[in-house]
């Protein structure tokens, strides 16, 4: 009967609208796009609906993205190139980090890890570069110097962030050196027992965060590598680590973050 045909048409239309709307939502395009495709399919002759349904699904997947496929390909290729550059730089930057700070080995990532973040990866040449370094203790906790500020103020321990050229050299030729000493009184004055007060144990998963701002006005436009680390070379660290009161492992050396590529334009 005619009304049965009308009801069937409505049910099929609602079903198609639901399917194409869900597909559009999953692909992060407006659900209205899916509803319109369903309407086109329902308005077609019966014998062409299956063909149009397949074409509509393909359109939602591939043609309704506001960016061109070529642009997506280029963006993906840029990400792959950037990842390869970072991978190739990491070994060179390990040496560069030692030259820029102190000689020494990398501390085990099982003791602690370091994560570096910026608000973006592309900056105007004169814009300040905001950097956040987050130090996180490993699953067994770790002993570190009780200082979580700028390394340049102690020349022994603390956080450091700097921009390097892709050759691993300091990008700022006018950068200043260390500005002060460590937390101790001086060689021959303190004992390991006294120095213990200058160390702290971070419990498993406990974190410390440091923020800094790097100036870019003195740099030329181009691509640079942002290098971040936490350095643990405190006075008498080896002697303190042997004390009975130290219930755990002392991290000595450099804890580095994965470098980031920064473009100045």
Rounded mean pLDDT, 216-223: 91
Residue 162 near residue 100 (C-beta atoms within 8 A) = yes
pLDDT at 93 over 60: no
Instruction: Please name each of the domains of the chain with its CATH number.
Output: 2-62 (no CATH), 77-264 (2.60.40.2360)
Q: Token pair of 62, please?
A: 């591939």
CA–CA gap between residue 221 and residue 124 (Å, rounded): 8
Do residues 222 and 261 touch, judged by C-beta distance below 8 A?
no
Maximum pairwise Cα distance, the chain: 104
| Residue 158, C-beta contacts closer than 8 angstroms, at least 6 positions apart | 145, 147, 148, 149, 150, 151, 152, 230, 231
Q: Is the pLDDT of residue 246 over 70?
A: yes
% of the chain beyond a pLDDT of 70: 55
Q: 168 pLDDT band (50/70/90 cuts)?
A: confident
Tell me how far apart the alpha carbons of residues 94 and 86 are, in angstroms, rounded to a whole number.
12
Query: Of 57-61, 123-127, 261-265, which range is least confident?
Result: 57-61
């Amino acid at each position: 009967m005619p009304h049965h045909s009308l009801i069937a048409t409505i049910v099929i239309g609602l079903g198609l609208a639901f399917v194409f709307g869900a597909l559009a939502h999953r692909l992060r395009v407006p659900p209205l796009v899916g509803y319109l495709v369903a309407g086109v399919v329902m308005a077609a002759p019966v014998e062409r609906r299956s063909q149009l349904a397949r074409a509509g699904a393909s359109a939602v997947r591939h043609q309704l993205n506001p960016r061109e496929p070529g642009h997506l390909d280029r963006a993906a290729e840029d990400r792959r190139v950037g990842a390869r550059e970072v991978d190739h730089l990491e070994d060179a930057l390990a040496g560069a980090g030692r030259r820029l700070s102190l000689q020494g080995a990398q501390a085990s990532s099982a003791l602690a890890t370091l994560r570096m973040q910026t608000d973006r990866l592309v900056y105007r040449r004169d814009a300040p570069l905001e950097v956040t370094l987050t130090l996180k203790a490993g699953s067994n906790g770790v002993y570190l110097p009780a200082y979580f500020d700028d390394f340049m103020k102690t020349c022994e321990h603390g956080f450091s962030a700097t921009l390097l050229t892709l050759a691993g050299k300091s990008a700022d030729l006018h950068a200043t050196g260390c500005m002060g000493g460590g937390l101790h009184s001086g060689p021959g004055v303190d004992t390991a027992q006294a120095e213990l007060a200058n160390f702290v144990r971070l419990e498993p998963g406990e974190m410390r965060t440091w923020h800094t701002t790097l100036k870019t006005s003195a740099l030329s436009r181009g691509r640079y590598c942002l290098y971040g680390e936490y350095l643990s070379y405190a006075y008498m660290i080896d002697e303190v680590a042997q004390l009975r009161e130290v219930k755990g492992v002392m991290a000595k050396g450099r804890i580095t973050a994965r470098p980031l590529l920064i473009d100045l334009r």
